[in-house]
């Protein structure tokens, strides 16, 4: 049978308490990063909630709507567009200008990063019935361009799969036809601009209204591939200089 002195018992109790405290602290230190990450995620979800009122839950949008999908678009592209709205290069939608006009570059980068990380399923194609001649004209312009008029193929810049190219070129599939048409109109009228040289503005002014209708019809009729992530790089140099794509400035 063991006997402990009156002094030894408090010492043992103090030692046990110290061990318990260290273990508790270690457990908290392991939980802290996860708790912090959750707090950051919650804060970001609140920050981007107004965007989802128009662009849909998680930015996925619907095929039959006007507003474009922003989920999964290249982060650099989304950041450029937010800056363009803030700095007056995209003026055709005042609500967007109002929402971002006082936000910092860092704030906009975080918003762009959030939506770029959302890789979600796409809805079925919007256009299911269109004249064959219109579809063929659109396909030729998208895939081959028109060398006789010095119009590059959409695929030469937006990737062979048309899902965009990191870091700054957007995908073209899964967008509503009306949205595509409206953006061509905005470039033509000068209410949508990009950093100089503004390649899309230059290309748009070479297209006829029939060209635009054919391209938007064909693009909105295409299914989005299962892996719709932007390509890491283009197989060849861009056919035109684009100020919004860093390597072509």
pLDDT value of residue 92: 81
- 222-248 average pLDDT score: 89
Quick one: pLDDT at residue 1? 44
Q: Which domain holds residue 146?
A: 56-248
Split at pLDDT 50, 70, 90, the class of 202 is very high
Which pLDDT score, from 0 to 100, does residue 24 have?
Answer: 47
Is residue 25 assigned to a domain? no
Mean pLDDT of the chain: 86
Is 15 among the domain residues? no
* Number of domains into which the chain is organized: 1
- Is the residue at 36 inside a domain? no
In a domain, 34, yes or no: no
9, pLDDT greater than 50: no
Residue 138 contacts residue 144 (beta carbons within 8 Å):
no
Question: Residue 149 maps to which CATH number?
Answer: 1.10.760.10
The pLDDT of residue 62: 75
- 113 inside domain: yes
Is pLDDT at 80 greater than 80 in this prediction?
A: yes
In a domain, 170, yes or no: yes
In the chain the first and final C-alpha atoms are separated, in Å, by 86
Please give the average per-residue pLDDT across 177-197, as a whole number.
Answer: 95
Residue 5 has pLDDT above 90, yes or no: no
Indicate the pLDDT class of residue 13, thresholds 50, 70 and 90.
very low
Who's near 129: CB < 8 A, 6+ residues apart? Answer: none
The residue that leads in pLDDT, 227 or 14, is 227
The pTM is what?
0.80
Task: Check residue 91 and give its pLDDT.
Answer: 84
If you count them, how many residues does the chain have?
249
Task: Decide if 85 is inside a domain.
Answer: yes
Rounded CA separation 220/210 (Å): 15
Q: Would you call 136 helix, strand, or coil by DSSP?
A: helix
In a domain, 150, yes or no: yes
């Amino acid at each position: 049978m063991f006997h402990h002195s009156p002094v030894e018992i408090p010492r043992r109790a103090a030692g046990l308490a110290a061990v318990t405290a260290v273990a508790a602290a270690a457990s908290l230190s392991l939980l802290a990063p996860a708790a912090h990450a959750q707090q950051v995620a919650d804060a970001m979800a609140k920050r981007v909630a107004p965007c989802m009122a128009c662009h849909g839950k998680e930015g996925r949008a619907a095929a039959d709507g006007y507003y474009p999908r922003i989920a999964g678009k290249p982060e650099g592209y989304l950041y450029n567009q937010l800056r363009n709205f803030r700095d007056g290069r995209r003026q055709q939608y005042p609500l967007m200008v109002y929402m971002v006009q006082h936000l910092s570059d860092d704030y906009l980068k975080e918003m762009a990063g959030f939506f770029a990380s959302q890789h979600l399923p796409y809805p079925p194609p919007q256009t299911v019935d269109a004249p064959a001649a219109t579809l063929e004209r659109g396909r030729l312009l998208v895939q081959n361009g028109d060398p006789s008029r010095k119009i590059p193929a959409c695929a030469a810049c937006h990737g062979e799969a048309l899902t965009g190219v990191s870091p700054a070129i957007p995908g073209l599939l899964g967008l509503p036809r009306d949205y595509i048409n409206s953006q061509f109109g905005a470039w033509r009228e000068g209410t949508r601009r990009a950093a100089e040289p503004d390649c899309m503005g230059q290309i748009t002014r070479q297209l006829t209204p029939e060209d635009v209708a054919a391209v938007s019809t064909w693009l909105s009729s295409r299914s989005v591939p299962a892996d719709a992530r932007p390509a890491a790089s283009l197989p060849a140099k861009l056919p035109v200089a684009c100020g919004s794509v860093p390597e072509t400035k």
